[in-house]
């Protein structure tokens, strides 16, 4: 079974028809899909690299009672517990009363089940029971073997508190994207951030230990511009002079509100002037279904720009967008230039 953002079920099914054609869609609800394995059993250690999946787990199906949930846990040897609500509405459209009811349901099941499990976050190799609840419905139960690239919290959520003074939601998108990807940032890395205004992503990158050259013709939050290590060029992405860029830029980040291929063409123009580049930290906008269908080609475009590792995920903070993490190897014929 897998969870996803409400509204992205069709995109996830389309991905899985290519990644694992032996998995056929089964029981589903908004934000929750199950698949029937037709060639080989789906194991709890498996996590297909689908962009739109929040979590993956082997499915035991709905359980009507707490005793049935606990019996499943004993059968599969689960020692840790994740309880969460499946997403019930599209992002930012959840009525407050429905959100409160979902939270009550989660706490009810957690209180009843938790005493039978080891407290605290799972360690690598632990078997975790995933319990997905919704008001008025029996929980759907699955289990997974915890590993580095599995969801770190219930329902794929990240334990992140958004400060009240961040200038935009981009802060949380970058924080979650860095956490999910395990981005190999080094303190002091210089990031070229395209489409930075008003500066939520800039602040997240500074808090991750980076220096940031932010580029945007739109105004930046004054508090962000005062952060140590932040410099700003008030210009459009297309007006950047490649020859004027610092030679020690290690990462290109972006949350620009332009089509992904337009962004990558802009980066392609700058790429020869980035000899120390290590990778990309990109929030790509999904303006329509055509952009979603084109994502494999878009990610391949990054490989043509030198990326040797490319991963993409719609993290919980994303709305109609995804986070892409890519690491770069040297391009053919490229010299290694020492950063200054």
Which tokens hold the place of 98?
């429905």
Q: What is the pLDDT of residue 91?
A: 87
Taking CA atoms, 39 is separated from 24, 53, 59, 180, in Å, by 10, 21, 16, 30
pLDDT given for residue 318 in this prediction: 96
Residue 133's pLDDT band (cuts 50, 70, 90): very high
Average pLDDT over residues 52-70: 97
Mean pLDDT for 152-165 is 95
**For residue 336, is it within any domain?**
no
- Residue 69 domain flag: yes
List the beta strands (DSSP E) in 208-276: 211-215, 230-233, 249-254
The reported pTM is: 0.93
| Res. 330 pLDDT band, cuts 50 70 90 | low
CATH code for the domain in which residue 37 is found:
3.30.2130
Nearest CA to 194 out of 248, 242, 160 is that of: 242
Element (H, E) at 215: strand 211-215
Domain, as residue range, for 115: 2-156
Please identify which residue in the block is written with the tokens 């790509």: 284
Same domain? For 68 and 145 the reply is: yes
Q: How many other CB atoms are there within 10 angstroms of residue 234's CB atom?
A: 13
Q: Are residues 145 and 194 in the same domain?
A: no
Question: Which pLDDT band holds residue 187 (cuts at 50, 70, 90)?
Answer: very high
Residue 333 pLDDT more than 50?
no
Residue in this structure with the two tokens 């949350």, named with its chain if needed: 255
Q: State the Cα–Cα distance between residues 45 and 59, nearest whole angstrom.
A: 12
Residues β-bridged to residue 254:
194, 282
What percentage of the chain reaches a pLDDT higher than 70?
97
Report if residue 334 sits inside a domain: no
Average pLDDT in the 127-146 region? 97
Does residue 295 form part of some domain?
A: yes
Residue 336, pLDDT > 90, answer no
Tell me which residue of 259, 268, 310, 267 sits closest to 286, measured CA to CA.
259
pLDDT score of 284 more than 50: yes
Report the DSSP beta bridge partners of residue 312: 324
338 has a pLDDT exceeding 90: no
pLDDT of residue 222: 98
Residue with tokens 């290690």: 250
For residue 331, pLDDT over 70 is answered with: no
**pLDDT value at residue 92:** 82
pLDDT digits (tens, 9 = 90+) for 192-241: 999 999 999 999 999 999 999 999 999 999 999 999 999 999 999 999 99
Regarding whether 143 and 21 lie in a shared domain, the answer is yes
Both 135 and 205 in a single domain? no
With a cut of 90, say whether residue 244 has pLDDT above it.
Answer: yes
Task: Report how many helices (DSSP H) and strands (DSSP E) the chain contains, helices first.
Answer: 9, 15
Residues 102, 212 within the same domain: no
72 is a domain residue: yes
Q: What is the CATH number of the domain that holds 223?
A: 3.40.50.150
- Residues 176, 140, single domain; the answer is no
Q: What is the pLDDT of residues 73-123, one digit of tens each?
A: 999 999 999 999 999 999 888 899 999 999 999 999 999 999 999 999 999
pLDDT for res 329: 79
Based on the domain organization, do 278 and 232 belong to the same domain? yes
Q: How confident is the model at residue 145 (pLDDT cuts 50, 70, 90)?
A: very high
Q: Same domain, yes or no, for 224 and 148?
A: no
Is 7 in the same domain as 152? yes
Alpha helices, H only, the chain: 9-19, 66-76, 96-113, 170-181, 200-207, 222-225, 260-270, 289-293, 295-304
Total count of domains within the chain: 2
Residue 314 per-residue DSSP state: -
**pLDDT computed for residue 88 by the predictor:** 93
Boundary-marking domain end, from 124, 156, 188: 156
Closest of 306, 247, 303, 251 to residue 282, by C-alpha: 251
Cα distances (angstroms) measured from residue 143 to each of 71, 126, 334 = 13, 10, 46
State which of 110, 130, 156 marks the end of a domain: 156
Is the same domain home to 139 and 191? no
> In this structure, is residue 131 part of a structural domain?
yes
Residue 275, token pair as written in the block: 């000899």
Residue 334's pLDDT is what? 46
How confident is the model over 169-184, as pLDDT tens digits? 999 999 999 999 999 9
Structure tokens that stand for 150 in this block: 């599995």
| Confidence category of residue 335, pLDDT binned at 50, 70, 90 | very low
pLDDT mean over 25-35: 95
Classify residue 85: in a domain, yes or no.
Answer: yes
Q: Does a structural domain hold residue 224?
A: yes
Domain end among 156, 186, 212 = 156
Between CA 226 and CA 229 the distance in angstroms is: 9
Average pLDDT over residues 236-254: 97
Whether residues 247 and 122 share a domain: the answer is no
* Domain co-membership, 76 together with 136: yes
Tokens matching residue 139? 């929980």
Rounded CA gap, 153 and 137, in Å? 22
The per-residue pLDDT for 294 is 96
């Amino acid at each position: 079974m897998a969870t996803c953002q409400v509204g992205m079920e069709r995109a996830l099914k389309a991905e899985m028809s290519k990644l694992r054609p032996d998995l056929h869609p089964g029981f589903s609800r908004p934000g929750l899909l199950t698949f029937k394995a037709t060639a080989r059993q789906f194991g709890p250690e498996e996590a297909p690299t689908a962009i739109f999946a929040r979590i993956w787990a082997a499915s035991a199906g709905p359980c009507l009672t707490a005793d049935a949930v606990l019996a499943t846990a004993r059968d599969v040897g689960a020692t840790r517990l994740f309880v969460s609500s499946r997403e019930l509405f599209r992002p930012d459209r959840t009525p407050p009363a429905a959100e409160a009811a979902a939270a009550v349901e989660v706490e009810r099941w957690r209180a009843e089940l938790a005493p039978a499990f080891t407290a605290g976050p799972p360690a690598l190799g632990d078997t975790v029971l995933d319990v997905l609840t919704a008001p008025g419905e029996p929980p759907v139960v699955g289990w997974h073997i915890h590993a580095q690239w599995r969801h770190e919290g219930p329902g794929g959520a990240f334990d992140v508190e958004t400060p009240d003074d961040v200038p935009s939601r981009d802060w949380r998108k970058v924080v979650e994207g860095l956490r999910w990807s395990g981005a190999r940032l080094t303190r002091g890395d210089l990031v070229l951030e395209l489409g930075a205004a008003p500066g939520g992503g800039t602040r997240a990158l500074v808090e991750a230990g980076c220096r940031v050259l932010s580029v945007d013709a739109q105004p930046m939050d004054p508090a962000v511009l005062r952060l140590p290590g932040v410099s700003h060029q008030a210009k459009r992405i297309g007006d950047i002079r490649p020859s004027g860029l610092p030679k020690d830029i290690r990462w290109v980040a972006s949350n620009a509100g332009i089509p992904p291929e337009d962004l990558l063409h802009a980066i392609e123009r700058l790429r020869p002037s980035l000899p120390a580049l290590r990778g990309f930290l990109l929030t790509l906008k999904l303006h329509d279904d055509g952009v979603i269908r084109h994502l494999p080609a878009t990610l391949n475009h990054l490989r043509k720009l030198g990326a040797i590792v490319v991963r993409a995920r719609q993290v919980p903070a994303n709305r109609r967008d995804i986070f892409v993490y890519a690491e770069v190897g040297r391009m053919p014929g490229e010299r290694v230039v020492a950063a200054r």
